[in-house]
Amino acid sequence: MEYEYRFQVRLHDTDHAGVVFFAHLFTHAHDAYEAFMASVGLGLGALIADGVRLPVAHADADYLLPLHHGEEVAVTLAIAELGRTSFTVAYEFRCDGELRARLRTVHVFLDTQSGRPADLPQDMRAQLGPFGLEDD
Ligand SMILES: CC(C)(COP(=O)(O)OP(=O)(O)OC[C@H]1O[C@@H](n2cnc3c(N)ncnc32)[C@H](O)[C@@H]1OP(=O)(O)O)[C@@H](O)C(=O)NCCC(=O)NCCSC(=O)c1cc(O)c2ccccc2c1O
């Protein structure tokens, strides 16, 4: 199962060359992640209020084709890997079905007391599991 998030490229997203600045794709990916987490009952605001920390330990991107001002972008998001203490989110950015970029982020669950990586809680595992790439 995949989650879809949409946005339109705004003028402030673009650089002097008229394309979306590379770092901004991570902002959009995190917006998609935040919307996805809320949709599965893991809203980040509530998690943070409960003392949960899920820092990003790794992020990478492949920029296949540029994105331009005004374009409608569909971001599909899936869980590429559910580890012991971490999960990897995979994002594909498409315009009119054309793949423009691929990103990944790795999120690590930290124990509230020690601040060290700890086993992903069972409920989080259950909520993320259905979006695993291997389930497609
Ligand atoms: C994140 C760290 C605490 C990890 O510490 P350490 O490296 O010592 O951990 P382990 O070696 O035990 O590994 C645990 C787990 O993570 C995987 N992993 C670790 N590093 C990588 C890596 N570079 N690439 C891929 N995977 C990695 C490892 O494989 C293990 O997975 P398992 O599933 O196999 O158990 C420590 O590195 C640290 O503190 N780093 C700094 C983090 C940081 O500052 N990130 C940027 C800002 S945080 C942020 O953006 C953020 C985003 C959110 O969405 C949040 C949501 C909610 C709360 C907070 C958020 C937040 O802060």
**How do residues 52-98 score in pLDDT, each as one tens digit?**
999 999 999 999 999 999 999 999 999 999 999 999 999 999 999 99
Tell me, what amino acid is at 102? Answer: R
Tokens for 89, please give them: 């989110």
**CB of 115 shorter than 6 A to ligand 1:** no
d(CA 27, CA 100): 16
- Ligand 1: centre distance to CA 12 (Å): 30
Atom of ligand 1 nearest to the CA of 47: 57
Print the domain residue range for 83: 3-135
Q: What is the CATH number of the domain that holds 116?
A: 3.10.129.10
Report pLDDT for 135.
Answer: 57
CB atoms within 10 A of CB 110: 16
Distance CA 136, CA 129 (A): 11
pLDDT at 133 exceeding the cut of 90: no
Q: Does ligand 1 come within 6 angstroms of the Cβ of 106?
A: yes
Query: Which tens digits make up the pLDDT trace of 11-64?
Result: 999 999 999 999 999 999 999 999 999 999 999 999 999 999 999 999 999 999
The CB of 38 under 6 Å from ligand 1? The reply is no
Give the ipTM. Answer: 0.98
- Whole-number pLDDT of residue 42: 96
Atom of ligand 1 nearest to the CA of 33: 54
Q: Whose CA is nearest to atom 44 of ligand 1?
A: 55
Q: How far is the CA of 71 from the centre of ligand 1 (A)?
A: 33
For the chain, the domain total comes to: 1
Q: Is residue 80 within 8 Å of residue 136, measured between CB atoms?
A: no
Give the mean model confidence (pLDDT) for residues 4-15: 97
Residue the block writes with tokens 């879809």: 4
Residue predicted with more confidence, 135 or 28: 28
Task: For residue 128, give the nearest of 48, 33, 27 by alpha carbon.
Answer: 33
- pTM for the predicted model, two decimal places: 0.96
How far apart (Å, rounded) are the C-alpha atoms in residues 66 and 14? Answer: 10
